[in-house]
Homo-oligomer: A and B are copies of this chain.
């Protein structure tokens, strides 16, 4: 029994192209025709490789979060909670206005509200965002234990807050805000984390 004809395209390269289409148009706004054209393949190849449109989205999300997690590891490596927040939000201001990518964040642009039959998509995106929030929360728990954050601070609430600001910045970026505007938001937002930081003596 033979192995069959080998695939002629690289799955990860194709996923990068699909990611960009979902990023720009959202899950429902992206059509199979746009996706296949961007990926440089025909529909049967797409379906053989990824199952269906939703499977393709999940594969694209896997790739997106994988790359993003590398960066998140750098973020939480910052020495203090305040620096974690600053590194995260300033980094997001940069990344979400990087002309190499569509504006905003795939985990937001992908789809906040969806029609009947795609109800699971917003939850899928929310689950991925929650992963980042958990990572932040763990980091802030540590910061509190280290005395970096005040004993009265709530690490989970802080993580939720930073996550919420990130999402808000993503929406702003996708609707035309420039890098400077996002940096201003990040700069103000960091001050709330500062307010929860212990005084440096």
Contacts and interface: CB of A to CB of B under 8 A. Distances in A.
Interface residues of A, number: 56
A147 interface: no
Interface string A25-49: 1101111001000000000000000
A25 B161 contact: no
Nearest to A103: B113
A187 to B, nearest CB: 7
Chief secondary structure at chain A's binding surface: helix
Contacts of A165: 164-165, 168, 189
B161 A189 contact: yes
A201 interface: no
A91 B33 CA distance: 43
A57 to B, nearest CB: 13
Nearest to A169: B164
Nearest to A194: B195
A175 interface: yes
A182 to B, nearest CB: 8
A9 interface: no
A194 B194 CA distance: 11
A56 interface: no
**Most interface-central of A110, A115, A116, A196 (chain B CB within 10 A):** A115
Nearest to A125: B175
Given A188-B158, A188-B192, A171 B29 contact: no
A148 to B, nearest CB: 16
A132 interface: no
A185 interface: yes
Interface of A: 23-26, 28-31, 34, 104, 108-116, 118, 122-123, 125-126, 129, 154, 156-158, 160-161, 163-169, 171-172, 174-177, 181, 184-185, 187-192, 194-196
Given A26-B28, A26-B113, A112-B171, 10 more contacts: A25-B113, A25-B116, A104-B113, A109-B113, A160-B172, A160-B185, A160-B188, A161-B188, A165-B189, A189-B189
